[in-house]
Structure 1
Amino acid sequence: MGVNIRTAQDWDHGVRRSGRVRVYPDGRVIDYKQGVTTFHSPSASAPEPGAISAGTPVGRFLSLQERERIRDLTGAGSSLRSIALALDRSPSTISRELRRNADPRLGYLPHGADRKAATRRSRPKTAKLAGDSDLRKYVQDRLVRKWSPEQISHRLVTEHPDDQEMRVSPETIYQALYVQARGGLKREIQAALRTGRARRKPHSNPAERRHRFADPMVMISERPPEIEDRAIPGHWEGDLITGTLNQSAIATLVERTTRYVMLVHLPGDHGAEAVRDGLVAAMATLPAHLRGSLTWDQGSEMAAHRSFSIATDMDVYFCDPASPWQRGSNENTNGLLRQYFPKSTDLSVYGPEELELVAQELNGRPRKTLGWETPAERIRALLLTT
């Protein structure tokens, strides 16, 4: 529906909103602007000021009836887990309720606990680091000493074990630094953060991957089974091997069924257009039945994969990130090629003739996976039978 998840939850629980006022089905009316919670009968024509609480609040809050049952079960000597089981709540919810809302002298009183909880939920709240307090001074001092918010938060517990007022979460410190409406710390303290940023950097959702290229990729999971099991020749794996500081490169192609190797000369650069043109020229030397598909990793050199497909009539499939084993034949071949083209060397010094000689030597080696035949013999057989 294009709304915030909190809005959808309100709809689900029957909560009505009017500006900064929220009206709950049980009659509670919360005015966030004034920070006031009132209660009125749901059937009444207008809300009347009265006692906070009563009724059955929305799902995630304990209701008055649940609090009365907690009092009864606690008086009967029931354990926290048995009370939680009876109320279908988490044991931590029951533990927190008894710890936070019990009266220090009279013990746990349901109506008093309900009023405490309702008052605590009122909004807006004063930011914890907005006022002039010992906690704020402590946080400021440690930030100047270049402590991280997480270090400050945990150290407070160590240095002030019995003072619950000296508690602050790392997120609260970040909020005070970055959010102007709630900022309780001076702006110059931001400079003490290791990032040096005055604004928060948004984090991407891993469940929402951005497209790597302008043209959508077809992932390897969509590759047909006949390509996967190497039953039909003409399907290739490709990659680049690079030289010193990635300034030079050679494109490598391996046919999945025969392990036949082709090396593509990239004399100028190895950007997307140069790689595309080199691959198109290499594939043009093959008959149509050996131009089935190409599997590549998600390197930026394949940004022009769509125009390559149009020029060669070959589908391009992309491996998953950090999954080199999905093009294992090519990875193995690249390892063999390092005998001829060592790492951290300038690959631009090798011309097309030298690349062809290296490819011929690799294609002339007998392979165990081919029954000790050579890739050249296998590819020759394919060319002669069609």
Structure 2
Amino acid sequence: MAWKTLDQMDLDGKRVLTRVDINVPVEEGRVTDATRIERIAPTIRDILDKGGRPILLAHFGRPKGQVVEDMSLAPLVPALEAAFGAEVVFVADCRGPAAEAAAEALAPGQVLLCENTRFHAGEEKNDADLAAEMAKLGDVYVNDAFSAAHRAHASTEAIAHHLPACAGRLMEAELSALEAALGDPRRPVAAVVGGAKVSTKLDLLSNLIARVDMLIIGGGMANTFLAAQGIDVGKSLCEHEMTGTAREIAEKAAAGGCEILLPRDVVVAREFKAGAAHEVVKAEACPADAMILDAGPDSIAHVKEVIDRAATLIWNGPLGAFEIAPFDAATNAAADHAAARTAAGELTSVAGGGDTVAALNKAGAAERFSYISTAGGAFLEWMEGKTLPGVAALG
């Protein structure tokens, strides 16, 4: 899909209305994790360098169309100034006379932060009138909030139809990474899909089996696929009601030439706690009173062999109960192997989703992947093949 970048826009002297995701944790009026703020800093600095005057639109929390003092963006000003290296002016609305006057008065080198867009009920309704009022604040619209791009809101979708629009640096990086992973990837393409439930990832699995060459299924999802083959998984987490669906997915994958990999051996235990007594058994030999909590060493070797064959890897979800040892071994080993191949220039690796980011960070592998998406729902919907309103509006 065609979308413009900052490099294609004339920003000199322009008011640049920039949608960002700065929904960061705040305790006692202080930002405790500025990661999301730091990730938008390159966009803001580029706008300033090009002579533009950045005006930030953002949501915070779920105020449901009401002004909620605890959800004001005002406390974020010091963290924004530290990240941008610029003065940040705050205005207590994102529309109307006060916001328009603040936008007009903004001096070169300054950044304007507008109050929480969700203080207006029209934001989440994608209200055209609210979007038109917000558009009065700028001359150009930049969307740098990929994490909110799956929502058709006034500040992410409707507003883009009022002004010349483009993607910010973070949005550009995200879209480029996803295009490299699923749009026009180097082949063969492998995907790791893990997590607890098949039912929450039906759209993802259905889209991936038509697009990837090898699909590695792990976590509780793998138990459902094993059960679909008639294997007794004991007391393991398993959606027995989804076994028919799992069989259908496997059949469609086989018909389309997509190889599905399930655990060959598994790590089982009678209780789920750190250091619990455990053993490795064949996947089809889980004791009736035990739980499958990780993939075993033979399975890990098989996953590594598939990663060695792949030119592109997409990763969503852990291979086992990664939160506690020793049930993090498969996730750690596979992630480290993928990271090493990526660092050697042999693999393009893209990962995303909440548990995924946590698992790869825990494995010490995240920084060596080609791209790690922190976008959550937007990342998953893109992987499911869905159109993201905030991205489509930039075209």
For Structure 1 versus Structure 2, the TM-score category normalised by the shorter chain is under 0.3
- TM normalised by structure 2 equals 0.20
Structure with greater strand share of residues: 2
Q: For the pair shown, which has the larger CA radius of gyration, 1 or 2?
A: 1
- TM normalised by structure 1 equals 0.21
Q: RCO (CA 8 Å, sep 6+): is it higher in 1 or 2?
A: 2
